[in-house]
Amino acid sequence: MQAAKPPHLICPAGSLPALKTAIDHGADAVYAGFRNATNARNFAGLNFDDKALATGIEYAHQRGRQVLIAINTFPQPGRTAEWQRAVDAAAELGVDAVILADVGLLAYARQRHPELRLHFSVQGSATNYEAVNFCQREFGIRRVVLPRVLTLAQVEHVIRNTEVEVEVFGFGSLCVMNEGRCWLSSYATGESPNTVGACSPAKFVRWEKRGAQPGEIPGEHMDARLNGILIDTFAPRESAGYPTLCKGRFEVRGDTYYALEEPTSLNVLEVLPEIIRIGVTAIKVEGRQRSPTYVTQVTRTLRAALDRAAAAPGPDSYRVEPAWQADLAKVSEGRQATLGAYNRPWR
């Protein structure tokens, strides 16, 4: 039996070192962003200027790999030219595709750069094949990144009803998965990933040490606040996460718990044969804000797993190595992994 072709492995590159280590450890492509509000990971110290991006593109192309540029925030009134310049710069630098969420930018890119490959971002929230086919018909998109709200059966339904390549997330931190439509950060700070490119911007984050209050574990506690809003309280020696509203612990009717979502990481290792079977074109790893060490570990592990799953003579012959799970657990958010919406046994 001929081995199946594994989906492309698309890995995050928040910096040039991360880009290089992703390529070196088996990524088929990396995705990156400019150092401005046009990309949804617009954090200080991350992303690329033109010179660094040109270097990264050369590094990838010399090794037969691709570089995709995420211009996946939404242009703000009176500032559309900034986003258009980002599209122009990406085209001029020779990227392999741009990942866009805004339909106005899709129209601009298609008209101004007809040879530029266009991918529809997860921030565009296309959850059905009608939306995907509309974007293909009107803007010529070649690939869609599906939001993380679909079961694998629903992903397969999209694939069966479109000619557009389908990319899905395979590993990394989760949010409430209201892709492109979440305004929690904007509610708390006035800024959101959709507009300025950062959820819970660091300038609004405050960590405050204090003594134990009545009923708490004795010792020094840490309060995490976002623009003055108490997001979480961490006990002594408890691992402290970054204060985002969707992953905060809040008091609800006398109980304090993760009211919206627990910190956890998506991990699709066990369903890779099914992902391959339904015809997914690419698997994406979340984490442009993470370190090169994270990129190395996840890329190396998923490369090995994808190759194993593709070469297996049947889905029953594929086995997840315990070492793979252990390696991914080291870089997972929180203390658990999930298949997210891909598997809903209660349906």
The pLDDT score that the predictor gives to residue 23 is 98
3-state helix, strand, coil in the chain (%, to 5): 35, 20, 45
User: From CA 46, how far away is CA 290, in angstroms rounded?
Assistant: 9
User: pTM of the prediction?
Assistant: 0.92
What value, to the nearest 5°, has the Cα angle with vertex 287 and ends 286 and 291? 150
Domain 8-174+264-342 in CATH 2.60.40.1930? The answer is no
The pLDDT score that the predictor gives to residue 1 is 44
The pLDDT score that the predictor gives to residue 177 is 67
The separation between CA 167 and the C-alpha centre of its own chain, rounded to angstroms, equals 11
Residue 280: both structure tokens together: 């997914």
Domain locations in the chain as residue ranges: 8-174+264-342, 202-258
C-alpha distances in angstroms, 325 versus 114, 293, 302, 306, 343?
A: 43, 16, 10, 14, 18
Question: 227 near 213, Cβ under 8 Å?
Answer: no
The pLDDT score that the predictor gives to residue 344 is 67
C-alpha distances in angstroms, 241 versus 122, 211, 295?
A: 24, 19, 19
What value, to the nearest 5°, has the Cα angle with vertex 41 and ends 48 and 62? 40
pLDDT tens for the chain, 347 residues: list them.
Answer: 455 689 999 999 999 999 999 999 999 999 999 999 999 998 888 999 999 999 999 999 999 999 999 999 999 899 999 999 999 999 999 999 999 999 999 999 999 999 999 999 999 999 999 999 999 999 999 999 999 999 999 999 999 999 999 999 999 988 776 777 788 888 899 988 888 888 888 899 999 999 988 888 899 999 999 999 999 999 998 887 788 888 899 989 989 888 888 888 999 999 999 999 999 999 999 999 999 999 999 999 999 999 999 998 887 889 999 999 999 999 988 767 888 888 865 45
HSE-up of residue 62 (Cα within 13 Å, Cβ side): 8
The pLDDT score that the predictor gives to residue 216 is 86
